[in-house]
Amino acid sequence: MSGITATGQKRLVLISGRAHPALAQQIADELGSDLVPTDARTFANGEIYARFDESVRGSDAFVIQSHTSPINEWLMEQLIMVDALKRASAKRITVVAPFYPYARQDKKGRGREPISARLVADLFKVAGADRIMSVDLHAAQIQGFFDGPVDHLFAMPVLLEHMRNELDPTTLTVVSPDMGRVRVADVWSDRLGVPLAIIHKRRDPLVPNQVSVHEIVGEVSGRVCLLVDDLIDTGRTIVKAAEALKAAGAIGVVVAATHAVFSDPAVELLQSDAIDSVVVTDTLPLPEHKRFEKLTILPIAPLLARAIHQVFTEGSVTSMFDGAA
């Protein structure tokens, strides 16, 4: 029987939102690929428009966006790009959101609150996303909010390698800055073969971004403390923790965090004498005014590129992290 034949060749398509084009370009470079030229603009009334300048029909498309401020703009732009891909007959669409937006609103802490992280997953689904890729979700259960595959990547191997080269394990203690990060900090302490301490942090549910330290569980006196967190927003969690550790006799405080949100007054607070150095990745853009002497920025593009390659070639993402989480 005669008929139409197709080449059967899969085609990788990389698309970037406007929030952090440098990261998308680095991912493309790592993959030896190009970003699809895209016309993305914002109209005078704030509405966003996006159109791809070449065909994406039948492609395996990855839409890369960093959810930095203004976060709602960049979320909407990514949704619009996913919608455009769906309507242009992309075969499979993956949302690459290295920093998952609204991840901290993952449950109802009090009555009449939203679960915005779930809403975001629903929005991606309705727009046409088949899968999501993200790094260090604030809570792993966010994976279950999306009805489809979620590739949850970990920045730990990137940060860990740096710390191994910089810190002496004989005097080191890993510290979780709050109860929510204990599991991750525990993996860090296992991987480094050093003790773990935990800070009991308190927040006032009626005052956003205010933090107080309740107590420290574990021995920190005479130790260099490695504080590990998923994100630094205003910097209050980390600085309060560092101050408490120093007051308890720590001889050094080093901070490792995946997502450098750095809302005001983070840059000012993080230069506190209580902190010796801060190491982050560039899942979010870090313009000059958010950089300071004690800050080290590690590139996340190689990790994302490897994961995209694994997804595209139907390989294994899990094997990238064997034993790491």
So which residues are the catalytic ones?
A: 201
Secondary structure of residue 111 in the 3-state scheme:
coil
Is residue 36 part of the contact set for ligand R5P (CB under 6 A)?
A: no
- One character per residue 78-107, x = contact with ligand R5P (rule: CB under 6 A): --------------------------x---
Give the closest residue to 187 by CA, choosing from 140, 219, 239, 142: 140
CA 28 – CA 49 distance, rounded (Å): 23
Is residue 237 part of the contact set for ligand R5P (CB under 6 A)?
A: yes
User: Does 111 belong to an annotated binding site?
Assistant: no
Q: Cis link prior to 157 (omega < 30° from 0)?
A: no
Is residue 235 part of the contact set for ligand R5P (CB under 6 A)?
A: yes
> To the nearest whole angstrom, how small is the minimum distance from the Cβ of residue 36 to ligand R5P?
34
CA 308 – CA 87 distance, rounded (Å): 22
CA 109 – CA 319 distance, rounded (Å): 35
- Binding residue for ligand R5P (CB under 6 A) from 231, 248, 286, 307? 231
* Dihedral sign computed on CA atoms, order 46, 47, 53, 55: positive
Element (H or E) spanning 227, and its range? strand 224-232
Bridge partner residues of 152 (DSSP)? 134
Structure tokens at 183: 């599991």
> To the nearest whole angstrom, how small is the minimum distance from the Cβ of residue 230 to ligand R5P?
5
- One character per residue 260-299, x = contact with ligand R5P (rule: CB under 6 A): ----------------------------------------
- Of the ranges 21-29, 84-92, 188-196, 227-235, which one interacts with ligand R5P (CB under 6 A)? 227-235
Is residue 209 part of the contact set for ligand R5P (CB under 6 A)?
A: yes
Is residue 211 part of the contact set for ligand R5P (CB under 6 A)?
A: yes
- Binding residue for ligand R5P (CB under 6 A) from 180, 195, 285, 302? 180
CA 82 – CA 8 distance, rounded (Å): 23
Please state the residue numbers annotated as binding site for Mg(2+): 138, 178
- Which residues are near ligand R5P by CB under 6 A? 104, 177-178, 180-181, 209, 211, 229-237
